[in-house]
Structure 1
Amino acid sequence: MSANPHAGRPLLRAGVAAGQAPRALVLLHGRGGSAADILGLGGHLAVPGYALLAPEAAGSSWYPHRFIEPVARNEPWLSGALAVVEAAVAATGLPDDKVALLGFSQGACLALDYAWRSGRRFGAVIGLSGGLIGDQLPPVTPGARFDGVPVLLGCSRQDGHIPLSRVLETEARFKAEGATVTTRLYEGGHHGVTEDEVILARQLLAGI
């Protein structure tokens, strides 16, 4: 196995061409999904002026075990996945405040964790059915603050994959560091993207 199990996987693009777009959206698919799947969601958001970039995980999975397991159990896949997100962000060629991160399920966990670990002030962070990764949540990067960064968290209250407690922990962590967090919790055990989340994400992205 290479140092990064996700090395050499595709980076799909859509929307405005890189180098010409004033804003970019990095999209991260869930377990069993693909870059093409999540890129379709990006198209459904229909926000003009964005370059859309979607990396793809090896074996359609960013890491093998549940996101609330100890981080070491998900290595080297998790570190490799974080490096893939870093490369996708760099490929936008834009400053952080013009780049938004959006993920679903595993991809939501990855987007949120990347933003938290990096300590960088992105234009927006959207986690649909996800939360910060690990059995123990790490402290924020020394010196980092997320003052005013829009964060959207959406999840079903009875989601079988995402504990509600972790969504609320994630909300609290970002709020404590100054992020502007919008949390939507839906009744039932649906594990998917709701039209309400699409509307909220579209509004958030339009403001960048």
Structure 2
Amino acid sequence: MYTHSNEVITEGKPLSETGKALILVHGRGATAESILGLAQQLPVQDFTLYAPQATNHSWYPYSFMAPEEQNQPALDSALERLDELVKSILDQGVKSEDLYFAGFSQGACLTSEYTSRNARKYGGLLLFTGGLIGQQLDTSKYKGDFAGTPVLITTGNPDPHVPVSRVEETVGVMEKLGASVTKKVYPGRPHTIGREELELASQILKAPNKD
């Protein structure tokens, strides 16, 4: 049985003070510390930050476009770890609409997969170069109602890991689940996060929640 560690790095003011949480999910080969570095470029002073750490720096072994069974059991364990973290935050009295996610690359793929399987009104989803997981998407797995959750999803074209076609499929699934999606495709952009992406993400993080 493969299980990811329970390691989560927390930064910022206590959740009891902020009432808002941002979960940051790192990419393959990266660390919780590295994705927290991204947060320094975002307006997160009023958020409590959570960054889970994948065992061996990878949430699952193969490409997110591989047949899903090839990425098991690591993928299921990664989804469980995210679910445990989400529940621990919500159990502290945070509303789901005050819970935000940000992920890059493999972290964006895992975040899109988790939130689409557990769609609800989140504060916002920042998906930097990623998409839903699997060789073919099994849309029966994606349930719930995003209820207008703002989603930013981006990629380069071409990107060495994330084809635009999968980003477009992901947009379609999320919109069917009620998300308000902003898609940005950057011609010739390397596998990184650009300035405009950070500015668009900042707008979502700064937007007042509408009840």
TM-score bracket for the superposition, by shorter chain length: over 0.9
Equivalents in 1 of 2:71, 2:9: separation in Å? Answer: 25
Spell out the pairing of 1:29-178 with structure 2 (5 A cutoff). Answer: 29-92=26-89, 93=92, 94-139=94-139, 144-178=144-178
Confirm or deny: 8 A CA contact 1:160 1:189 kept in the other structure: no
Q: CA deviation at 1:105?
A: 0.2
Amino acid at match of 1:114: Y
Confirm or deny: 8 A CA contact 1:21 1:49 kept in the other structure: yes
Q: CA deviation at 1:149?
A: 0.9
Amino acid at match of 2:37: G
| Larger deviation, residues 106-115 vs 93-102 | 93-102
- The normalised TM-score by structure 1 is 0.93
Confirm or deny: 8 A CA contact 1:23 1:99 kept in the other structure: yes
Match of 1:7 in 2: 5
Equivalents in 2 of 1:120, 1:147: separation in Å? Answer: 6
Q: CA deviation at 1:140?
A: 5.2
- What SS does the corresponding residue of 1:20 show, helix, strand or coil? helix
Equivalents in 2 of 1:143, 1:109: separation in Å? Answer: 17
Structure 2 alignment gaps of length 5 or more: none
Q: CA deviation at 1:120?
A: 2.5
Moved over 6 A (4+): none
- What SS does the corresponding residue of 1:45 show, helix, strand or coil? coil
Q: Could you say what the CA RMSD is over the residues aligned between the two structures, in angstroms?
A: 1.5
Number of corresponding residues = 205
Q: CA deviation at 1:46?
A: 2.7
Amino acid at match of 1:131: G
Amino acid at match of 2:168: L
Q: CA deviation at 1:142?
A: 7.4
